[in-house]
Structure 1
Amino acid sequence: MRDTQARFRIPGVTASEPDGSVGFRILGPLEAVGGGVTHRPRGPKVRKLLALLAVRAHDIVEVDTLVEELWDGAPPPTAVSTVRTHIYHLRQELERELGAGAVRDVISTEATGYSLRTAPGRLDLENFTRLYGQGRAELRAGRREKALERLDTALGLWRGRTLSDVGQGRVLAGHAARIEELRVRAQELRIEAAMGLGRHRELVPELRRLVAVDPLNEWLHARLIDALHRCGRRGDALRAFHDVRAVLAEELGLEPSEDLRQLQHHILAGGSAA
């Protein structure tokens, strides 16, 4: 799959870099990019193998781990040799699509397994993690504007669910869940920064979207209720509380948390929205 360089001019992994090295994107569909080209590897096992190398970039992924992921605990007698064959075909495919120079040595063979060795800035997960860490540090230091800028940039790297086009076994699913948790935390920090800057009205549509995606997340519901209240929309805030109470009762048989109940009482008592 070929595309123009302009499509990838984002603060993540671009299709063309001065050093000519290949990059990988896993925050959405799995993609390899380089030389003005983006490529999605073919074959479910090849994609799964590359995905596992990418989520553990720069580490050695043991052959036993690859076998477990590819065959879900029931490998054939030829599993180890088949992994070697998949690695060979993956290297050949990447060289053919992205150029031998860009791909050379990016997948290294080690004594116990294989390792994906990417140049700095050429893996979107690494870029996201770096920006997330910067945003968190800025927020802790009270620099909300800078925190919001870093976190906006970090979240802008996401194109969908982690490795959305890759079938995931137990090992890969565990890594994907960890990465998704980082995304959720980045969203929470971004909301904290924006609310600290008084951007409650701007946050309401985003919070409604996030609540629709994750309806059991009481922290998000509380931020939505608070944002509505701070916008002077007391009735909407109370309706949002009743909505989360109904969802929790129907799905989990639970009452809202103490924090949510205190927020409701504060609104009912006519507490200041400032």
Structure 2
Amino acid sequence: MRFSILGPVTVHDDARAVPVGGARLRALLVLLLLDPGRTVGTERLIGGIWGDDAPGGAGNALQALVSRLRRLLGDSVPVVADATGYRLVAAPGQVDLWEFEALVERGRAARAAGDPREAVRALETALALWTGPALADVADLDGVRSVLVRLAELRRTAAEDRLAAQLDLGRHAEALPDIEALAAEQPLGERPVRLLMRALAGCGRQADALAAYDALRRRLAEEFGADPATETRDLHLRLLRGELDPAAAPAHQLRG
């Protein structure tokens, strides 16, 4: 059985889609999937499923939902009860979020070890697991809203890691359009601008790379009265020295 939450919530048993009827049943499943192998407390489940509209006898209502979920999943993915709540017993490869996180860690480890090619492979595989905004069909439920920001951040940082690894490989022109879009979405984000500086310099556009830094510095001063972080200033200095030319240093030593 395969569970997907990086997009609409879906369940597949081999090639067969398993309908998860009702928003509350989907919410219960999602709350259990977000805490792999760990018990999710009864109060948290009730709050996440019903919010401020929990019925009288909410504990019994939760038990009824759990019974429905058990019938849906059968014996292949048990829902185990203990004194404080419930946990879903599934293997990491059965849940797209768990697989995504493992692939991202593999990609980051590969890049740190100086293997950007493997990093790109792992991170592209991870990002391909997303089919749209996470939890798209249950995003309005109280127990889900709190995790949407975290999941979106996981996706964004994985995309940044992939682009950084592409730059490590010298694929500046290929990465540049995605980096420009990322920097436009986060005008105060320093990492996207560092990636943009590297990509522009790698494409022979040093003046544009310097302009990107100057624009960021002005925005930070206007919004926060602050200078760019040390890492960004150091990259700017290396740009001025011509050290962002990929031929000037091993690619994996360029941080971004």
Tell whether the structures are fold-level matches, with TM greater than 0.5.
Answer: yes
Shift of 1:129: 1.9
Amino acid at match of 1:151: L
Shift of 1:42: 3.1
Amino acid at match of 2:212: A
Match of 1:59 in 2: 38
* Match runs of 1:138-157 below 5 Å: 138-157=110-129
Q: Does 1:215 find its partner at 2:194?
A: no
CA distance in 2, matches of 1:156, 1:109: 31
TM-score (norm 2): 0.79
Count, aligned residues: 243
Amino acid at match of 2:122: R
Match of 1:167 in 2: 139
Amino acid at match of 2:26: R
The list of structure 1 runs, each at least 4 consecutive aligned residues, that deviate by more than 6 angstroms after superposition, is none
Name the % identity: 34
Shift of 1:90: 3.6
Q: Does 1:191 find its partner at 2:168?
A: no
CA RMSD of aligned residues (A): 2.9
Shift of 1:171: 4.7
- Secondary structure at the counterpart of residue 227 of structure 1: helix
Q: Does 1:87 find its partner at 2:66?
A: yes
Q: Is the 8 A contact 2:49 2:143 kept in 1?
A: no
CA distance in 2, matches of 1:52, 1:66: 7
CA distance in 1, matches of 2:172, 2:205: 11
Amino acid at match of 1:140: A
Q: Does 1:42 find its partner at 2:21?
A: yes
Amino acid at match of 1:204: L
Shift of 1:227: 1.1
- Secondary structure at the counterpart of residue 26 of structure 2: helix
Amino acid at match of 1:158: W
Match of 1:108 in 2: 79
CA distance in 2, matches of 1:207, 1:200: 10
Structure 2's unaligned 5+ residue stretches are 246-256
Amino acid at match of 1:229: A
Q: Is the 8 A contact 2:180 2:196 kept in 1?
A: yes
CA distance in 2, matches of 1:119, 1:253: 45
Q: Is the 8 A contact 2:176 2:196 kept in 1?
A: yes
Q: Sort the Cα spacing of 1:199 and 1:175 in 2 relative to 1 into closer, same or farther, 3 A.
A: same
Q: Sort the Cα spacing of 1:66 and 1:132 in 2 relative to 1 into closer, same or farther, 3 A.
A: same
CA distance in 1, matches of 2:203, 2:190: 20
CA distance in 1, matches of 2:57, 2:132: 35
Q: Is the 8 A contact 1:232 1:273 kept in 2?
A: no
* Match runs of 1:125-144 below 5 Å: 125-144=97-116
Match of 1:33 in 2: 12
Amino acid at match of 2:79: S
Match of 1:182 in 2: 154
Shift of 1:220: 0.7
Q: Deviations over 1:135-191 (max 9, x none)?
A: 222222212211221122112212223212213556544444444433333233323
CA distance in 2, matches of 1:270, 1:141: 26
